[in-house]
Structure 1
Amino acid sequence: MTKRLVMIGLLLSPIFLSGCVLDTILSDVVNHPPIAVIDASPMTGPAPLIVSLDAGFSHDEDGSIIEYHWQIGDPAAVEPLTRSACEYTFAQPGTYLVKLTVVDDDGASDSQQVAIVVTNAPPVAQAKASHESPYTGVAVTFSAEDSYDYDGTIVDYRWDFGDGGSAVGETVTHTYADGGYYVVTLVVTDDEGLKDSVKFGINVLPGHSNCTTPPGGSDGGSCDGASVAPLAVITGLPSCSGGEVGVPVTFDGTASRPAVGKIVTYQWDFGDGTTATGPVVTHTYTKSWTYMVKLTVVDEGGGVGTAIGSCPIGPGSCSQQ
C-alpha cells in the first residue's frame, strides 16, 4: 500500500471574516492496491484450445484500474496482451501458466495466475472415394489424405469396405464383386494412440460388361437384355468438409448420367429429415453431425440410380470478443 500526505485546513477563529487563522495537520491516507481476478474459460481441453481470458472482475476499491498486463507461459506468445479481455489459442499440449497484473491510478499493482491444461487432441479422419457409384468389377481408390492430426502425426490407417474386405494404408484400392449399398469405415490412429473414425456410403451398381450402348450414351442402352440404370453423381460434397451449422451447402447432381434419354427426376434426402428436388439444390443444417446425403435420379426409361455420400457439419464459428 502507499501513503499520501493531505493538508487539512481547520478554522480556528470564526469571528474574523477577512483574516481566518488556519492551522495545518498532516494526515496519512492509505491507498489500497487493486485486486487482480482472472476469469479463464475453458481451463482444460484438447489442442488447439481457445481460451477466453477476462479481467473484468478485477477491481480497485479506492480508485480505478488503468493497466492490464497478461503473461502467457507459452513460447509461441510473442505479442503483449494489454486488454482487459482477450482470447488466446494454445496450439500444443502442455500445462501453461497465465498471469494477470493490474495497475491502478496510484501506481499500485496486484497479480494473479492460473494454470491452463491442454491435452493431446485426437486425429481427424476424412475419407473419399474415386467413385461414389462405381460398377462391380471396377477398382475404386479410397484416400485418407485429408485426414490430419493437429498436434502430432497419424501413424495408422485402417479401412473396412463393408463387404468383408479391408485394407491398411493412407491410399488403397478395392473392387466390389456385387452390387448394393455398402458402408465404408476408416479408422485413423495418431502417434499418441488416439483414434478417430469416419463412415460413408458407396452405392455399387451392377457391371456393364456386355452393354450394346455405353451407359450415359445419347440413345440409352441395355446389358444382356436387362435395363441399364442411370448413374447418379453428387458433386458438392467436398464443400461439406469444414461446413458449419447455419451456412448453406450446395449439392449438384448435374454430373449424373442417364441410361435412356435424359434424367427427369432428381430427389434429394439430406439425412436430417428434409428433402428437395432439382438438379442443383442448397440446404442449411441446424445441428452439427455427419449427415448421409442421398440423391436418387430417374431417367426417361424409368431407370433409377442412387448415390450416397457423407456431409460432415461442424458447430458455427465463434466471434472473437
Structure 2
Amino acid sequence: MRPHIILWIILLIAASPAFCKDIAYVFSEGSEHPADNANLTDYNGKDMVSFATAAGPKGSSVSQGNHKTVDSIKEEINAKLNMGNQVVRDEGLRLTGRRSGAQRIDQICSIYDDLVGNWTYISDWRGSEIFQYSNYTLEMGKTVGSLGKGDCDDFAILMASLIDAIGGTPRVILAYGPEGGHAYAEVYLGKKGSQDKDLSRILEWLRSEYQVKDIYCHTDPKSGDIWLNLDWWKDSNGATHPGGPFFQASAQIPIPIREDINKTSLTPIENSPPCVLFNYTPLKPEVGETIIFDASSSVDSDGQIVNYEWSFGEGSSAQGRTKAVCPFIYAENGRFFVNLTLTDDGGDKSLKTQEINIAEPLPEVFFNYSPTAPKAGEAVTFDASQSKDKRGQIIEYEWDFGDGYSGKGVSIKHQYLDTGTYKVTCDVKNDRGMDNISAINLAISPKEPKSEKSTPEKNAMTIVSVNASVGDLMIVPENVSVNATRPLANTAIDNEESKKSRKTQAIIIAEPRPEAVIRYNPTSPKIGEAVTFDASQSKDKRGQIIGYEWDFGDGYSGKGASIRHSFLGSGDYDVRLTITNDRGIKNTSNKIVIIRQDESSNEIETWPAETAFGPYNGEKILMLGSGGTAPTGAVPSSGYDATVTIRSTQYTGYDVTVDGNYIGTDGKGQDPLDGVFTFKVSGNQQHLIKANHPYNWKWWQYLYNAGETYTYDF
C-alpha cells in the first residue's frame, strides 16, 4: 500500500489555528519519548475537509470543490463500518482462531497480520473518494481469494470494523502530509497510570512477538488514553507490524468510532510463568568444593525473568536478577534439597527442586617403591608418605602385597620369594573414617645366579680340628688349616714318602642358621588385649630373612615380621616363631606368654536375677534366675546342674560370691578343717565366681556347661 492516495485530504480550519491533541510516542524497553510529525490535530466538527484530485503521486492537485465537514466524514465512516453485520462478525471470529480471552492483544494482532497478508489494493474512481462498506470490502476480496479489496481508507474501515466486532475500541486517522493523504486505524490499549501493569505487559509482548525495539502509540496527555498504531504501508521506513512507525503528516484527524459507547481496554495475554531449568557441576560434588549452579537455560516465553532465588538446603540462600549462575560451597557432607524460585516481569513465580548429594572427600593415595626393578628375595621398600587428605589427616596405612602377606605403616619393607607379577594394594584411612585404595602391578624378576667359583677373601682361612692317625691322608679344601690332636709326621702333608698309603675323610661345612628373636608388648598382657609380636631383631649372618611364621599356642597362626594377636582366655601360651632366610634355612624360637584376666575390668556382666537357696539332697543349691525364693525341698531344673567346688587347705572362713550374690562362708554347713566349698550353678551359662579372704582372693569367670564339675584351688 502506497503512503499516498490519488485523492489528497486537506484539512481546512475555518475558525482557529490547529493545535496538538494526542501526542505521538515511541515506547522502548525501559523508556519512552515523543515521535516526530505524528501528533494528532485538535479539530472542530464543523471544520471542512477538502478532497482534491491529483494528477498522480507526484503531480499537482486540482480542486474539484469536493468539501465535507469532519462531522459528516465521521458519520459516513461509522456507517460504513456496518456494525452488526453478520459477515463481518463471522470473519472477526474466524481470524481470532483459538485465542481465548476478552479483547486480547494477540486477537487484534491476528486480524492485522491476516489482513496485511491477504489484501488486494485497488484505487477509487478517478476524481472521487469512496468509503466502502466493510462487508462489501470482504466480499470483493473473496472474488480474488483475499480478505479484502480497496484502498487505504477501505483497509482502515475494515480493520476498525473487525476490531469492533470482537469487542475492541477502534478509531480511524485521516492524515495529510508532503507525500499526500492517507488513512489508517488505531486500537485503544488502555489508560496510562491506572493500567500501567497491563500496558507494560502488552508493549513487552509486542516487542517480543515482532522482534522490534520500539512500539508507536498516540497518548492523550489529559486523559492518559493510549492508542496503538495499526497502520500498514510498504516502504523502507513504513509500518509493517502493529505499533509500527507513524505516517509523517502535517495534519492528522482522529475519527472516533461509536463514541457514545465506553471505550474497552485490551487485556494482555495471560502471563505464562517462567520455565525453571538448572543443573550443577561437578556432577559428584564433595565437601569444600566449589559447585556451579547454572539456571541460564531457564526461559520466560512471554517476558523476562527478573529474579533468581536459590536455597541450598542447609540454611544458605542467594537471590538477584544476575544470579542465573551461582557458585556455592558446602561445608558438610550429606543430601540436600536445592530450591530455585524464578520470578518473571509479570509477577508469576515457578519453583524447581533438585536433590544433591555432597560426598565426604576420600583421602588421596600415592605410593612408590624401591628398587624400581626388584628381584626375588630382594627387600622392597613401599612408601605412601605422599598420600594426603583434604580436610584432615591420614591415620592408617594397610598394605596387601599380593602374595598372601600384609602389613601396616606409612613405609614398609617386604620380600618376594618367587618371581611373578603381584598386585600391591595400599588402603589409607583418614581421621573421619573414610578410606581409599590404590593398587599397582609389581613385576618381580629372577635373582641373579651366583658364580660357580668364588674368589676367597685374601688371607681368609677355615680352621677345622681332626683326630688323624699316622698314615691317614686328608683332603683339605683350599684355605683350610688343620689342627691335629697328635703328630702327623707321616701324613701326606708332612712326609712325601707316605703318599702311597692314604686315607680319605669328608669334612662337612655347615650353613649357619638365622637367629630368631621374639619381642612382645605389653609384657603383661590381659585377656582380649592386643599383643604386638615383633621379630625385627632377628638376623642372618650371610643373607636376609625373608619369612616369619608365628604359632601363638592357642590354635591361631600368622605371618609377618610384626604382627598383632589377642588371646581370648587366661593361661600360659607357648608362642613359637619360625624364620626362613634367603637360602631356605629355617630356625625356631619360642617364648611362654602368660595371659591373665584384667582384675580392674568393669566389663564383666553381673547376673541380674535374684538368688535363693533350698535344700536338695542335703546340699546348698544356688538358684539363679528363678525370679524368687525356691520353695523348700524344691528340685532344681535341669539347667542348674553344673557343680563348682572351691577348695583351700591354706585358708578357712573365706567368703564366696557368684555373680555378685553372696553364697556363704566356708565352714557353714561344710567341714571347717578341709576348706572345701561346693555349690551348684545354672548350666550352659557364664558366671563370675569369687573367693575372698583377708589375706588372699581369687576369681573365675567361665561358661559352665550343664552336667560338668569344676574345681578351683584357693
* TM norm structure 2: 0.24
**Larger relative strand fraction:** 1
In terms of Rg, which structure is larger? 2
- Structure number with higher relative contact order (C-alpha < 8 Å, ≥ 6 residues apart): 1
**Larger relative helix fraction:** 2
